[in-house]
Amino acid sequence: MDEEKLLQQLNKFTRRKLSPDEVYIFSVILCDNEVDRDNEKFTVKSLEKLSGLFVGKTGIFDHDAKGSNQTARIFCARLEKDPERKTLDGEEYVCLKADAYMVRTNSNSDLIKEIDGGIKKEVSVSCLAMKKTCSICGANVSKHPCSHEKGNFYGGKKCFYLLEDIADAYEWSFVAVPAQVSAGITKFFGAPQIPKEQAELAETEKRLFEEIKSEVTKLCFLAYPSSSKGLEKIVEKMSLDELCELKKSLIDCVCGDLKPQISAVYKEDLSRFKLGGGKQFEP
């Protein structure tokens, strides 16, 4: 959804029409149908109910329901599916994603920076589920507790409670450790756009980095075939400057006095190997 349509939906909750410069808009995954840290999970039907109930709900901190804690408000919500991802019990992954906004002020500028910087990210929801169903025996444990305990395994299956019959949604909060592992801010709008020139430069640097990393990995194999696997792991963690230095050292190694462990086969590979820039070198 583009920014103009987001603003149209957002302004349904304001007393006057707000401009793009006045608001900070971001998206957040509120909850999903995965088994959470409390060994509970929302059914898809429950998520559908919550998608309507959470529109208009306020965002606070640590579920502390004080007016001074209000920091954002949800103005639209929807379910999103990931066919390639499966939950613990084999269902197609479904999450409840919402768009929220804050009015830009001097007092929340630091919070916006923390959201942009990925510090304030995790969230948790507060809602009312009238029914909790045991995944093992199907009992409604809210009314008739069974003998199965959440988190334990029975016949190879993990016991968890299905949260059903959602009656209300109260609020959503920024927290340090959410019950739902995937809950949190996913992206944001209203931040300064990266200039096209900078974006193209970053993409070029990324390609260069991958090319040099590939070359260094091949050179590691040619210079030290018996240790190449271990060296590959080290290469993955190196910066661009470190890779360039290592590449230079490896070239000196394989092009000078070839190490005894480099066989004739590796010499032949070396003769076909190209350096950055397309220049070929001979062993």
Please state the domain extents for the chain.
3-189, 196-272
pLDDT at 92: 95
- Residue at token pair 């230095």: 245
Q: Who contacts 263 (Cβ-Cβ below 8 Å, separation ≥6)?
A: 225
% pLDDT > 90, the chain: 38
- pTM for the model: 0.61
Question: Any idea what DSSP says for residue 13?
Answer: G
Query: How many Å from the N-terminal Cα to the C-terminal Cα in the chain?
Result: 56
Give the CA angle between residues 239, 118, 58 to the nearest 5°.
170
What's the rounded Cα separation, in Å, for the pair 44 and 33?
6
pLDDT at 281: 37
Q: Which residues of the chain have pLDDT under 50?
A: 186-196, 198, 258-283
pLDDT at 283: 35
Which amino acid is it at 20?
P
What's the rounded Cα separation, in Å, for the pair 281 and 255?
8
14's tokens: 């304001």
H or E, element range at 241: helix 240-255
268 phi and psi angles, rounded to 5 deg:
-65, -40
pLDDT at 204: 66
Which amino acid is it at 89?
D
Which amino acid is it at 212?
I
From 3.20.16, 2.60.40, 1.20.950, 1.20.58, which CATH number describes the 3-189 domain? 3.20.16
H or E, element range at 127: strand 123-134
Residue-wise pLDDT tens digits, 125-150: 989 999 999 999 999 998 889 999 99
